[in-house]
Amino acid sequence: WLSKDEIALSDDRPTTTLLERYVLAVFYYSTDGPNWSRQDFNFLTALSVCDWNNNIPPERESFLGIYCYETASVRRIGLYDIGLSGRIPWELGLLVDLQGLNFGGNALTGSIPTELGKLTALDFVQFGTNLLTGTIPTEFGQLTLLTTFLMDYNALEGTLPPELTLLRDLTDLSMLNNSLSGSLPSSLGQMTALTLLNLAANSFTGTLPSELGKISTLQTLHFYVNQLSGTIPTQLGQCTDLKGLSVDGNGLTGTLPTELGQLSMLES
């Protein structure tokens, strides 16, 4: 495709233009692009990659495709629920200006490329509801601008990397329904911007860290259906913004802390 692409072959095209078209072509064929359920966003056409979208602003739910905003380089890729299959190519790590990736609701397989940890401008990652395996790359701890990290409904294994707790701007962390195991790091309590923490339906063991009580911004906290033991930390009573708390389906013991009565915002 690239050898016949008019923009790639033009003498005055910048090197970055060629690189982006190459990377996105690799992504298209790596994820079975000819069989995507949607083909109405100009992918692999003679247009600029900034026009490879359905012309719907990315702040609206129905947007699809590649977005550059008012710049000349790729900023966001939104290709959710369109039948992506195959593997996420490591070459995406070459799009150094990327700020958002949304591949949710597809059938992607294989592991998450560690090279994505080089995309230090990323603030949004949504790979939920796929067939991804392997571990969560520790390199994601370098993505210090990340605010949303959603990996629900995959088959990810291994532990929750302590490196993720270095992401102090993260507000939404959800890995519901995977095969994660091991103990929960006490350094979770240092993620003081979190509003959503959902690690339910995994195989975590050990106790609930008392340090969770330091996250005063928490609104949703789900650890149901794991293999946790010990007591419910009294410190959770300090999370006064909590609206949803669920720890059922574990092996918790002891009494119900009276401190939970301080959660005046609690709805469930």
pLDDT digits (tens, 9 = 90+) for 188-204: 999 999 999 999 999 99
The alpha-helical segments, DSSP class H, found in 57-125 are: none
β-partners of residue 228 are 206
- pLDDT tens, position by position, 108-134: 999 999 999 999 999 999 999 999 999
For residue 189, the one-letter residue type is G
The pLDDT of 205-213, averaged and rounded, is 98
pTM exceeds 0.85, yes or no: yes
Cβ within 8 Å of residue 25, ≥6 positions away? 1, 2, 44
Spatial distance between the Cα atoms of 5 and 138, rounded to a whole number of angstroms: 37
For the chain, what is the mean pLDDT?
Answer: 96
Distance of CA 138 to the CA centre of its chain: 14
Cβ within 8 Å of residue 8, ≥6 positions away? 2, 17, 18, 21, 22
The pLDDT of 6-23, averaged and rounded, is 93
Neighbours of 10 (CB within 10 A): 10
